[in-house]
Amino acid sequence: MSAVIEARGLSKRYGKRTAVDGIGFTIPAGRIVGLIGPNGSGKTTTLKAALGLIPFEGQLSVLGHDPRTERDALMQDVCFIADVAILPRWLRAGDAIDFVAGVHPRFNRDKAERYIAHTQLKPSMKVKEMSKGMIVQLHLALVMAIDAKLLVLDEPTLGLDIIYRKQFYQNLLEDYFDEHKTIVITTHQVEEVEHILTDLMFIRDGRIVLAASMEEIGERYVEVMVPQEKLSAANALQPIDRRTVFGKAVMLFDAGPGGASRQQLAALGETRNPSVADLFVATMKGTYA
Amino acid sequence: MISDKNANTMKWLLRREFWEHKGAMFWAPLIVGALLVVLMGCTVTYGIMAHGIPAHVTINGQELDHARLDAVLPAETKMVAANIATGMYLGASAPLFAILTGVVFFYCLGALYDERRDRSILFWKSLPVSDPMTVLSKAITAMVVAPAITIVLAVAASLVLLFIACAALSAQGLNLFSALLSSSDLYLAPLRLVALLPVYVVWAVPTVGWLLLVSSWAKSKPILWAVGVPVVALVAIKWINAALENFSGQTLLLAHYASDVVARILGGIVPGIWFTFPGVTAAIHLNGHGIDMSNVVPQSYMSLAGADAWIGVAMGAAMLYAAVRMRRWRDEG
């Protein structure tokens, strides 16, 4: 199967500021990709380019379409949640379902209604009468009932409380995702998504600094709890990050080609796979400085 | 197949617009229409009941008095009265058409602006609905749906008023019902109103195009841009023209057209505005104190014979196209 998204030399400038700086990446079908970076790193701009919402330079192909010229064809197979709480205030839940059912050939009405039935939403309710969590539930019910090949979620849980956030990702994984679908999620709350992702892309200052599958990351990065007496030996292996937990040094190593070997690291102390959040912090060091 | 799908999408888009603007497009004229019926109905009924049939009535320049009403052949008198009543009765609903102008104006200004302000454009754009379809649905809502709703409500309100008046008269012994029901004007007047809708669309296109363009372009305060730009441009042109005339004795050709262009850009959505535009051949024949309604339709269609109307349509279509392009590429942050 060909790539769902393929970018080559993708750039976007806003005046003098370069939001996305010549990035290239490939996202195959059947993946859940986390596009992760700090605020202002270019995540949203990249996705907007892929969704045909903004002009850009370079090459970008989404499901074989150029989002600049073939957006209408593209939107038959793509769905996105650009932000929470963008449903118009005057819209009734029932009308929203009717409308999407009316205009979207891939919308499954029963699925949306089944999903709504598990919430406190009523068809006569207007968006302005709903809590933020309920708006997300409605939006999610609409989007998850669409059998799209590509679903793009841009900060889908921003400003939501923890119960809705957990539920959101759980529903996404259990009810929606299958091997024919691809999901791209941007967030800066890494710890929420790490267990559902199959692939990671770290983006920083408009460039992709890391793109790998979760398996590759598990093989490549090692975190070691280094006891006091082995500190200098550990430092000699050039850890990419170090921090202290309960008086013990915790070091992050790149065990990929050219880095330290697993045997060397195991000799230093207890090893484990780092969390994506720790990897993120290590990779993004200096971004906020 | 594709046109079927487009027709279906358009149906839902029009419904969507109606859901959003039900208050302004349906409830407001309905309530005003109901108030008209109640207030004017009460006034007429009270007038007839309290004072009996007026001793002197002047309708359309014909003076009828009580004595003559009895003296003349009753049927003939009734026919005259009925003809006048049925020809003019839609005039009672004029306030609804004034409201329509305001509703269409503010609807167009908000149509492509509000969705950007509340960012719901990102939701609409996540569905397989193209920008041309969306903008077209808004133009159709402004030029056809809103006026059609007003026409229906206006006819209903006018008919109710007419029958209230007739009921009051018959209580006083003057029965106009049979004459009224046999008058062809009773049935033709609503049809004439509907027949005017295409003329309205033609003259409204430039204004709707301009307002939708501003609505899709303005970052804030679309009303200031929509009204300010044409008015400031007009004042500037007039001023330059006056200066030129003073110094060189020449005038700008542009200045001759400037006022008309501004009037058509801002006033095209006023029902009947076409009679005031220059280039529209003959004015309505005034018949006494009223308008000869049967003449309005042919006169209105004659206004479409000149090039002016169609130049406006072309400009309006160009502005609608610009609004589509604007919506396609507007970055909502």
Q: Where are the beta strands (DSSP E) in chain B?
A: 56-59, 62-65, 286-287, 290-291
**CB B202, CB B313: distance < 8 Å:** yes
A72–B130 CB contact, under 8 Å: yes
Calculate how close chain A gets to B330, using CA atoms only, in Å.
7
Residues of chain B in Cβ contact (below 8 Å) with chain A: 5, 8-9, 11-13, 15-16, 19-20, 115, 118-120, 122-123, 125-130, 328-329, 331-332
Calculate how close chain B gets to A219, using CA atoms only, in Å.
37
Calculate how close chain A gets to B192, using CA atoms only, in Å.
35
pTM: 0.88
* SS3 per residue for A257-284: CCCCCHHHHHHHCEEECCCHHHHHHHHC
B126–A79 CB contact, under 8 Å: yes
CA atoms within 13 A on the CB side of B174: 21
**Measured distance CA(A184)–CA(A153) in Å, rounded:** 6
Q: How many CB atoms lie within 10 A of CB B248?
A: 8
**Phi, psi for B277 (deg, rounded to 5):** -75, 140
A100 to chain B: nearest residue by CA? B127
Burial of A200 (0-12, 13-18, 19+ CB in 10 A): buried
pLDDT tens sequence for chain B (333 residues): 568 889 999 999 999 999 999 999 999 999 999 999 999 888 888 888 777 665 555 555 555 555 444 444 456 666 667 767 776 788 888 899 999 999 999 999 999 999 999 999 999 999 999 999 999 999 999 999 999 999 999 999 999 998 888 888 887 777 778 878 888 888 888 898 999 999 999 999 999 999 999 999 999 999 999 999 999 999 998 888 888 888 887 777 777 788 888 989 999 999 988 888 765 545 454 444 445 667 788 888 888 888 888 999 999 999 999 999 999 998 765
Which residues, 6+ apart, have CB-to-CB distance to A86 below 8 Å?
A: A139, B118, B119, B120, B122, B123
**Measured distance CA(B143)–CA(B141) in Å, rounded:** 6
**CB A93, CB A116: distance < 8 Å:** yes
**Chain B residue numbers touching A51 (CB-CB < 8 A):** 125
Q: How many domains does chain B have?
A: 1
Residue numbers of chain A with a pLDDT score lower than 70: 1, 84-85, 159, 286-289
Q: Quick one: tokens of B113?
A: 């602006």
**Measured distance CA(B251)–CA(B243) in Å, rounded:** 9
A71 to chain B: nearest residue by CA? B130
- Structural domain of residue B8, as residue ranges? 2-329
Which residues, 6+ apart, have CB-to-CB distance to A122 below 8 Å?
A: A93
**Phi, psi for A120 (deg, rounded to 5):** -90, 5
**CB B44, CB B164: distance < 8 Å:** yes
Question: B163, B36, B133: which is closest to B327 by C-alpha?
Answer: B133
Full set of structural domains in chain A with CATH: 5-215 (3.40.50.300), 221-283 (no CATH)
**Measured distance CA(B28)–CA(B34) in Å, rounded:** 10
pLDDT value at position B1?
59
pLDDT value at position A289?
47
**CB A54, CB A105: distance < 8 Å:** no
What DSSP assignment string belongs to A48-100? HHHTTSS--EEEEEETTB-TTT-HHHHTTTEEEE-SSS-S-TT-BHHHHHHHH
B120–A92 CB contact, under 8 Å: no
pLDDT value at position B292?
60
**Measured distance CA(B78)–CA(B321) in Å, rounded:** 54
Question: A1, A2, A85, A80: which is closest to A46 by C-alpha?
Answer: A80
pLDDT value at position B63?
58
Q: How many CB atoms lie within 10 A of CB B66?
A: 13
Q: Quick one: tokens of B173?
A: 């012994």
**Phi, psi for B120 (deg, rounded to 5):** -70, -15
**CB A17, CB A42: distance < 8 Å:** no
In this complex, the residue of B15, B120, B128 whose CB is nearest that of residue A104 is: B128
B126–A53 CB contact, under 8 Å: no
**CB B109, CB B222: distance < 8 Å:** yes
A53 to chain B: nearest residue by CA? B329
In this complex, the residue of A80, A90, A95 whose CB is nearest that of residue B126 is: A80
Burial of B6 (0-12, 13-18, 19+ CB in 10 A): middle
**Measured distance CA(A185)–CA(A164) in Å, rounded:** 16
B328–A79 CB contact, under 8 Å: no
Which residues, 6+ apart, have CB-to-CB distance to A95 below 8 Å?
A: B16, B19
**Measured distance CA(A282)–CA(B257) in Å, rounded:** 68
pLDDT value at position A156?
81
**Chain B residue numbers touching A139 (CB-CB < 8 A):** 123
**CB A58, CB A10: distance < 8 Å:** yes
pLDDT value at position A101?
96
User: What SS3 state is found at B292?
Assistant: coil
B120–A88 CB contact, under 8 Å: yes
Which ipTM was obtained for this model? Answer: 0.89
Q: Quick one: tokens of B274?
A: 């076409």
- Model confidence over B47-85: pLDDT tens digits? 887 776 655 555 555 555 554 444 444 566 666 677 677
**Measured distance CA(A76)–CA(A61) in Å, rounded:** 15
- Give Cα B158 distance to the centre of its chain: 16
In this complex, the residue of A48, A72, A86 whose CB is nearest that of residue B119 is: A86
**CB A111, CB A144: distance < 8 Å:** yes
Radius of gyration of chain B (CA): 24
Question: B304, B106, B276, B107: which is closest to B201 by C-alpha?
Answer: B304
Q: Where are the beta strands (DSSP E) in chain A?
A: 5-14, 17-27, 32-36, 57-62, 78-81, 150-154, 182-187, 199-204, 207-213, 221-226, 241-245, 248-254, 270-272
Residues of chain A in Cβ contact (below 8 Å) with chain B: 48, 51, 53-55, 71-72, 75-76, 79-83, 86-92, 95, 98-100, 102-105, 139, 143
Question: B238, B228, B208, B196: which is closest to B103 by C-alpha?
Answer: B208
**Chain B residue numbers touching A104 (CB-CB < 8 A):** 127-128
In this complex, the residue of A87, A100, A104 whose CB is nearest that of residue B120 is: A87
In sequence order, what are the beta bridge partners of A32? A183
A106 to chain B: nearest residue by CA? B128
Which residues, 6+ apart, have CB-to-CB distance to A199 below 8 Å?
A: A27, A31, A32, A33, A34, A211, A212, A213, A214
B118–A86 CB contact, under 8 Å: yes
